[in-house]
Structure 1
Amino acid sequence: MPPKVPNLAFLTESAPASYVAGLGRGASGFTTRSDIGPARDGPSAETISEAQAHRAEASCEDPESETGIFAGTIYEADDEEADRIFTAVDVAMESRRKARREALEADTHQKARAERPKIQDQFSDLKRGLSDVTDEEWESLPEVGNLTKRRKVRETKTYVVPDSVLVGNRNKLGLQSSLSARQQLGPDVTDLTDLVELRNARDKVLSLKLDQVSGAASGFSTLINPKDYLTDLSSVPLKSDAEIGDIKKARLLFDSMVRSNPKYAQGWIAAACVEEHAGRMVAARKLINTGCQQCPESEEVWLEAARLHNADGAKAILVNAVRNIQQSIPIWLKAAELEADPNAKKRVLRKGLDAIPHSVRLWKETVNLETSTSDARLLLTRAVEIIPQSVELWLALAKLGSFEHAKSVLSEAHKAVPTSHEIWIAGAHLLEHEAQQSASGPGNASETIWKTIENAVYELRNHGASFSREQWIAEAVTCDGLNLPLTCGAIIKATISMGVKPEDQIPTWLGDIESLQAQKRLTAARAVATFMLEVFPTRVDLWEKAIELEGESSETLLEKAVRHCPQAEILWLMWAKKKWLAGDVPAARDILEQAFFANLGSENISLAAAKLEIENGELDIARALLLRARKVANTSRVWMKATVFERQQGRFEESLTILEEALSKFPKCAKLYMIQGQIYDSLGDLAAARNAFIVGLKECSNDPRLWILASRLEEKDQKSIKARALLEKARLLIQGDDTLWAEAVRVEERVGASESAKSVLSRALQACPASGQLWAMSILREPRHSRKSRAGDATTKSGQHPLVLCAVARLFWAERKIAKAREWFRRAVRAAREDELDVGDIWTWWFRFEREYGNEAQHQEVVSMCSTAAPRHGEVWQRIAKAPGNEGKNTADLLNLVVDALDDDH
């Protein structure tokens, strides 16, 4: 009987008359609206749709906006106050709930930790107890073996071995203790193996095998060197499966190519290369020989065939190649290369010249093989007759004769090739070489060379040869490299103005000088500068550039410079200094005297004359010159130098008298107040020094050095609070000055307030975020573990400031990283040179480092570089250089003095 299918459509039928919804779940004893029907008619369809649309619009509105009965009301002050009160209540309730929730979570966390503590907490008391364990107890602890993953010894099963196996092993491993019947006959009769005969037989077998291999490889039986043979075996490449598969694919591909297009030469070459790579040289030679038969007009195929064969086979192949391609230069050259005898090479090349007489390359190779100059000259004479357009052959012929012969050859070359600049330049080279070897010297040849290059430019332009200015300059650079200064200068003089507009001449020529300096072609650069001075003889900057290029031999140029620019003080001073450094003091005096009359009232020349006399011990003359300078120049700098001179001589009263007069003339000169205060300070009159600084601060309140000196005076008088106040006031007046902040940090450190110093330094970096001086101080005052990160920030924010680089070098120095420290010191002085920042403290720290870790050569290197740089600034350097008694000392002496005065705080 089939199962009864339930009727699932009962839900669509009407309920029975006695059905009560929810009766089974206890829903009885009450009556709903659905039981008694509606009290009135429901809303219409239009009303329902309108309500649904209104509900959809309301769902998109902001819930905070006032809608409904409040849509038209005005938001008044009491509404705002109510909202604020409700908001405050919500915030207070939320904070209360948050505090309660956090307390509950903390309590729960503590209970959980109390029930299940961490492992590290469980053993914390034991860890603390380990501090009491002695070294002997640690050493007496036993070593723990490795007990992890140890295999368990499995039970082994044993089996019974047959007796036959035991007996056989016994007989195999046993020793025979008795002699056989033949051995008992005597010592001459024995069965023992002769090892010597065995070794000889093995050598004979190996020799026979080597002979067989040699004969199979070469086609005839000869003995070969076993060592070479074994070397060849070791060089045989072992192919992997992938390489073998690639070779097979390539072989099929190129085989199909040469079959489909047998006249394609590259296909035969590629197929032969595949076989060569596979190690099948016989097949490769066979393929390339077939390629030579199929493509007899292709020189690439013949050359490849010669490469794949040995010397004799290659010669035979090239003979056939010459028969098919008689005009191929590479084939003739390859045939000559295969010949070992020079005479045979000559014969081959001359046959090639018979076939190709217009080949310059064959002529050159033939001439190179000649050992006799006369034979080479004859060959080249014949070559230029056949190929008159070859500049190379003309120049080679000119080099093989005398001066007169070379002149005639180059003259013929000009007629044959009028558009060649190489022939003209070669003529100038010839003239200069002759002038260098002659007794008269190069003076007479200079004009001749200049005329030659000038004619070259004119003739090339007339014949339409396009040779640009840049190409001429490149030729001048080549002449500079060949040590031919006259030719180089003539080329520059004749061509430097080509295509340059008058308004662009100076920037263009200065750019040429910089480019030539970068290439280290100073002769060409000097030639450009000389030509510029001929065009612009009154430009002082051009004279300075030329003098810089001239270097040590610039005395003649300086004399010309002051003649053309008598009002240029810098040129007079350079000339006088050069004479002074050379030891010619009278000449320096004469030069300065001429400069003084040429520039009446010149401050620099007057002071230079006084300095010259001071350096040479003529103090009375120097005093008279300074007096004359005060009357003629009458500048604040002259008065200041006069005051400093009297102070250095110990004449403080005269110095103060000059200062009083100077201050009456120049009340805004801050340096005069500084010198006055320092003199009173050195005399012990602190009140007068303080008064001088106070007056100076009123007149020159924007000079930070004056504020610093006033602060140091108060600090010297044990008034550190007043010193701080002065620096604070200075920072308010002079915003963003890092020297004031640095002095404030040092004041705090000198009074022992290290925490206050850190705070001031932090504020200083906020006020001057790019100050290299402050960042350098910050690096050196950081704890050791955080100095590197601080140094990284400093180099980034200060823009590779030289003082920061010096601080990083000192950081490596402290860590005993000598090579890195020396490298960073070099970077610091290089950055100082590029930024034109002559800070002597950097050199001092480097010299102190080299005195500790360097050798004598490194010491002298630092001293030499520092003397060349001649620094004048720096906190410690300037203080030592201007100290009484150190005047007139050179840079090397000052370097040693400043090193001894350094401390780790700077």
Structure 2
Amino acid sequence: MRRWTSGGEQEVWIDYRRLFHTNREAREKAEREEYERKNPKIQQQFADLKRGLEAVTEEEWASLPEVGDLTGKNRRSKQARQQRFYAVPDSVLAAAGSAGELGTTVVDDGVTSTTGGSSSQDGTMTNFAKIGQARDKVLQVRLDQASQNGTVTSGNATSVDPKGYLTSLAKSQLPESAAQVGDINRVRELLESVIKTNPNNGPGWIAAARLEELAGKIVAARNVIARGCEHCPKNEDVWLESIRLNEGRNAKVIAAQAIQKNNRSVRLWVEAMKLEDDVRSKKRVIRHALDHIPESEALWKEAVNLEEDPDNARLLLAKATELIPLSVDLWLALARLETPENAQKVLNKARKHCPTSHEIWIAAARLQEQLGQGEKVNVMKRAAQVLVKESAMPKREEWIAEAEKCESEGAIITCGAIIRETLGYGLDEDDDRKDTWLDDARGSINRGMYETARAIYAYALRVFPTSKTIWLAAADLERNHGSKEDLWAVLEKAVNAVPRSEVLWMMLAKEKWQAGEIDSARRVLARAFQQNPNNEDIWLAAVKLEAENGHIDEARDLLKTARQEAPTDRVWMKSAVFERQLGDLDAALDLVQQALNLFPASAKLWMMKGQIYEDLDKPLQAREAYSTGVKAVPKSVPLWLLYSRLEEKLGQLPKARSVLDRARLAVPKSAELWCESVRVERRAQNMKQAESLMERALRDVPKPDQGILWNEKIWHLTTRPQRKPRSLEAIKEVDNDPTLLVAVARIFWGERRLEKAQNWFEKALVRDSDLGDSWAWYYKFLLEHGTEEKREEVISKCVSVEPRHGEVWQAIAKNPKNAKKSVEEILKLVAAELQ
């Protein structure tokens, strides 16, 4: 900030500033006037003209044209608006069409209808839709008559072949449509320029000829390609095109001219042979061709194919192999025509000339199999050694394809030999060989090549003899695609190789038992006990075997021994279940109590104790069992559910709510507990509270587990018209949940869209085949809309899968009354229970 030393200085500064501002304002004013003088406004420029308008008369004003918008954009938009078209109703078109006609329709009072045909004197309207339908029917009748006559004529003939007529119609319409799309004239000029510029360009002549053919000018096309042959006499493609465009004798003449110019062209000789009508002429042409090109493999193959006498074909092949010793196909063809002894000599010669051909080695192996020496002479072992030495060893996938080809042609021994000698090639020990071979076997099974898959499993088991995974896969192959004897043989080898695997022992015992070999199954389990003395699975399998066959005392004794030898909570629980199924509830309760003293943290034992008290009609004791159980095992969702349902059954709704509230605190994100809370309110007709709980549940439960919640919401908390939109929303939130997929299938079922419903049921089964409720819903659907064959197929698949989960499935399958029922019977019971 400036500081003044005296008042005089301040006054001088003020005067200076005033003078400066005055001068600046004068300067700016002068500059502005100068700018306005040089750049006058529009109104100033036309001021004198505006004053001259005073002399214009009214007539002159009236004759002035309208102001037009000459800008391009507005002009085009206005023109578009003026040329806009609108759809006219059929009634207007019909009235306009019949405006000049005389009506011939007679109304009820006998008076002819008015001119125009659209309305009569009494006000009735002509139904043009029905007239159109009648015309279509007449046309259909005429077409049917024509199709019955079946003759094709031209001109004014009344008998036509519908298929031929449509074909000819399509051909006649092709040039016109092509002209509209491709602008044939423009393309013709372009191609003419190409062939004039470069007359030796064969593709240009071919393109020009095909353009004329496309335009329907076949004569012009022939002339064009003939000129092309003159300019390109050494181009076989041009000659072949000329042969194609001509017919009969002309084509033969052109072929002869082409061969004169190109007597080394195999394609021209073959085409000339095809033009001949009889076999004798074809042979003559091919022999002429072989005189000119004796080293052509294709010509020798054509010559052999024309021979009907095997002896003549053999002579031709013998000569061909002398001239073309490197042709594997010719050697193999000659070997197939020879006797087994001579075929062996032929293949030995072929191996000398073509040491890198694996096809010849495979043919030799198949010959040995044909002679019955496939097991004695291992040709494929020598083949692998030679091919590796020659660096001509194919890949593993190629060998598998060759093995499958041998299997499809019945050469089973050769198929196995190929896999045995080549499957390990190219795979090091560091590679994941086991998974690779399992994938190879599954691929062969999917293609229906079961012998190849068996050979792959056999080789893999020689490398990994103790692999339980491979043994189970091999057993599964025999179960699905083999005989029971083969399955038993595989499982016997498996238990000998992996004696500590209780799964393999139980599988063998089960297969024996299901085949009715009860004593054999007992012996298998006895051997299993020796290898696995304290294994609970084997003990329980033995108990089940005896119980299913009605040997109750033996089963009870086995359980008693098992509780001593393998005292696990599962053994104790199965003991209690066994007594409960027999109806001895007191003995079952006693066993459960003893088991709880040993295993107080076993949720299943607490559940069984409560269920036994319910069976005894002692709800208070059952409540006490459940109450104590949830304290001992607070994370057990099924135990909480049983506790809540007992309270609800006793009419203690507040108590049931309280139990579920405590359960959700113990297991906070359980979809089953939230769903049960919603169902309690729904069964109590408290729908608002149920909807509120559902919203909280969908916020609290992780999305992958929400399937059961959405299913409940769709079917019980949503009106029928909103179910489909709600299901789409659910699928976006929870992808591929089997419960939800079944819900969508049921919606389509309700809409009578049966094919879609079936597809969604099958999607659910593919997603989780262990869910018994999905199988039951699908079977229930097929009971109404499926065939007997399809129902049997579903039952068979369900029995093979043996589902163990599902809300309704578990409730029925674990009911003591259904203890001895088969999977098929359980399936039908569940289907009848579902609503």
1:406 corresponds to 2:353: no
Tell me the distance in 2 between the aligned counterparts of 1:231 and 1:813: 43
Letter paired with 1:509 = W
Which residue of structure 2 aligns with residue 892 of structure 1? Answer: 824
Q: Which residues of structure 2 form unaligned runs of 5+?
A: 1-9, 21-90, 97-153, 156-163
* CA pair 691-266 structure 1, distance change in 2 beyond 3 A: closer
560-569 or 867-876: which moved more? 867-876
Structure 1 residue 258, shift from structure 2 partner? 4.4
Structure 1 residue 282, shift from structure 2 partner? 4.2
237-246 or 420-429: which moved more? 237-246
Q: What per-residue deviation string (whole Å, max 9, x for no partner) do you get for residues 830-871 of structure 1?
A: 2113xxxx2212222222222233332333233222222211
Which residue of structure 2 aligns with residue 612 of structure 1? Answer: 545
Structure 1 residue 241, shift from structure 2 partner? 11
Which residue of structure 1 aligns with residue 814 of structure 2? Answer: 882
535-544 or 849-858: which moved more? 849-858
2:790 to 855, 858, 863: 858
CA contact (8 A) 1:780 1:811 kept: no
Q: What per-residue deviation string (whole Å, max 9, x for no partner) do you get for residues 518-549 of structure 1?
A: 54433333222211111121222221222223
Tell me the distance in 1 between the aligned counterparts of 2:309 and 2:368: 25
1:456 corresponds to 2:392: no
Letter paired with 1:826 = E
Letter paired with 1:870 = E
Q: Secondary structure at the match of 1:445?
A: coil
Which residue of structure 2 aligns with residue 424 of structure 1? Answer: 361
Structure 1 residue 873, shift from structure 2 partner? 1.8
* CA pair 622-257 structure 1, distance change in 2 beyond 3 A: closer
* CA pair 756-406 structure 1, distance change in 2 beyond 3 A: same
Tell me the distance in 2 between the aligned counterparts of 1:760 and 1:377: 86
2:247 to 289, 306, 310: 310
Structure 1 residue 307, shift from structure 2 partner? 2.4
Q: Secondary structure at the match of 2:540?
A: helix
Tell me the distance in 1 between the aligned counterparts of 2:214 and 2:691: 74
* CA pair 681-385 structure 1, distance change in 2 beyond 3 A: same
Q: What per-residue deviation string (whole Å, max 9, x for no partner) do you get for residues 73-94 of structure 1?
A: xxxxxxxxxxxxxxxxxxxxxx
Q: What per-residue deviation string (whole Å, max 9, x for no partner) do you get for residues 76-119 of structure 1?
A: xxxxxxxxxxxxxxxxxxxxxxxxxxxxxxxxxxxxxxxxxxxx
1:785 corresponds to 2:721: yes
1:794 to 730, 735, 760: 730
Q: Which residues of structure 1 form unaligned runs of 5+?
A: 1-38, 50-145, 152-208, 211-227, 436-443
Which residue of structure 2 aligns with residue 197 of structure 1? Answer: none
Which residue of structure 1 aligns with residue 569 of structure 2? Answer: 636
1:359 corresponds to 2:277: no
Tell me the distance in 1 between the aligned counterparts of 2:19 and 2:588: 110
* CA pair 883-293 structure 1, distance change in 2 beyond 3 A: closer
Q: What per-residue deviation string (whole Å, max 9, x for no partner) do you get for residues 170-218 of structure 1?
A: xxxxxxxxxxxxxxxxxxxxxxxxxxxxxxxxxxxxxxx99xxxxxxxx
Tell me the distance in 2 between the aligned counterparts of 1:240 and 1:704: 72
Which residue of structure 1 aligns with residue 429 of structure 2? Answer: 502
Letter paired with 2:411 = L
1:385 corresponds to 2:322: yes
1:842 corresponds to 2:774: yes
- Alignment of structure 1 residues 5-20 onto 2, 5 Å: none
1:764 to 685, 697, 700: 697
Q: Secondary structure at the match of 2:817?
A: coil
- Alignment of structure 1 residues 741-752 onto 2, 5 Å: 741-752=674-685
Which residue of structure 2 aligns with residue 776 of structure 1? Answer: 711
Q: What per-residue deviation string (whole Å, max 9, x for no partner) do you get for residues 283-338 of structure 1?
A: 44344334333333222232223223322122222222222221111111111111
Q: What per-residue deviation string (whole Å, max 9, x for no partner) do you get for residues 405-431 of structure 1?
A: 221211111112111111001112233
2:751 to 808, 815, 824: 815
Which residue of structure 2 aligns with residue 130 of structure 1? Answer: none
CA contact (8 A) 2:365 2:374 kept: no
- Alignment of structure 1 residues 562-641 onto 2, 5 Å: 562-641=495-574
Letter paired with 1:773 = I
Letter paired with 1:535 = V
Which residue of structure 1 aligns with residue 58 of structure 2? Answer: none
- Alignment of structure 1 residues 36-75 onto 2, 5 Å: 43=14
Percent of aligned pairs with the same amino acid: 44
Tell me the distance in 2 between the aligned counterparts of 1:713 and 1:245: 81
Tell me the distance in 2 between the aligned counterparts of 1:352 and 1:854: 63
Which residue of structure 2 aligns with residue 699 of structure 1? Answer: 632
Tell me the distance in 1 between the aligned counterparts of 2:383 and 2:523: 47
Q: What per-residue deviation string (whole Å, max 9, x for no partner) do you get for residues 15-57 of structure 1?
A: xxxxxxxxxxxxxxxxxxxxxxxx96774779999xxxxxxxx
1:543 corresponds to 2:471: yes
CA contact (8 A) 1:769 1:798 kept: no
The CA RMSD over aligned residues, in Å, is: 3.0
Tell me the distance in 1 between the aligned counterparts of 2:778 and 2:228: 73
Q: Secondary structure at the match of 1:537?
A: coil
Tell me the distance in 1 between the aligned counterparts of 2:421 and 2:548: 47
* CA pair 718-349 structure 1, distance change in 2 beyond 3 A: same
CA contact (8 A) 2:610 2:622 kept: yes
471-480 or 575-584: which moved more? 471-480
* CA pair 627-48 structure 1, distance change in 2 beyond 3 A: farther
Tell me the distance in 2 between the aligned counterparts of 1:261 and 1:795: 64
1:445 to 374, 382, 400: 374
Structure 1 residue 769, shift from structure 2 partner? 4.3
CA contact (8 A) 2:384 2:393 kept: no
Structure 1 residue 239, shift from structure 2 partner? 4.6
* CA pair 695-487 structure 1, distance change in 2 beyond 3 A: same
Q: What per-residue deviation string (whole Å, max 9, x for no partner) do you get for residues 349-380 of structure 1?
A: 11111111111111111111111111111111
Structure 1 residue 659, shift from structure 2 partner? 1.7
* CA pair 233-633 structure 1, distance change in 2 beyond 3 A: closer
Tell me the distance in 2 between the aligned counterparts of 1:689 and 1:282: 100
Tell me the distance in 2 between the aligned counterparts of 1:826 and 1:842: 9
Which residue of structure 1 aligns with residue 71 of structure 2? Answer: none
Tell me the distance in 2 between the aligned counterparts of 1:499 and 1:48: 103
1:486 corresponds to 2:413: yes
* CA pair 385-242 structure 1, distance change in 2 beyond 3 A: closer
Q: What per-residue deviation string (whole Å, max 9, x for no partner) do you get for residues 784-811 of structure 1?
A: 2221221112112122200011111222
1:396 to 318, 330, 333: 333
1:868 corresponds to 2:800: yes
Tell me the distance in 2 between the aligned counterparts of 1:557 and 1:674: 41
1:346 corresponds to 2:283: yes
* CA pair 534-330 structure 1, distance change in 2 beyond 3 A: same
Tell me the distance in 1 between the aligned counterparts of 2:198 and 2:645: 99
Structure 1 residue 348, shift from structure 2 partner? 0.8
* CA pair 732-372 structure 1, distance change in 2 beyond 3 A: same
CA contact (8 A) 1:769 1:797 kept: no
Q: Secondary structure at the match of 2:597?
A: helix
Tell me the distance in 1 between the aligned counterparts of 2:196 and 2:515: 87
Structure 1 residue 464, shift from structure 2 partner? 3.4
* CA pair 710-311 structure 1, distance change in 2 beyond 3 A: same
Structure 1 residue 653, shift from structure 2 partner? 1.8
* CA pair 715-497 structure 1, distance change in 2 beyond 3 A: same
Which residue of structure 2 aligns with residue 17 of structure 1? Answer: none
Q: What per-residue deviation string (whole Å, max 9, x for no partner) do you get for residues 612-666 of structure 1?
A: 1111110000000101100100000000000111111111221122122111111
1:531 corresponds to 2:464: no
- Alignment of structure 1 residues 638-717 onto 2, 5 Å: 638-717=571-650
332-341 or 840-849: which moved more? 840-849
* CA pair 602-273 structure 1, distance change in 2 beyond 3 A: closer
- Alignment of structure 1 residues 117-516 onto 2, 5 Å: 239=176, 246-435=183-372, 445-448=374-377, 451-504=378-431, 505-516=433-444
Tell me the distance in 1 between the aligned counterparts of 2:719 and 2:293: 83
Tell me the distance in 1 between the aligned counterparts of 2:736 and 2:445: 26
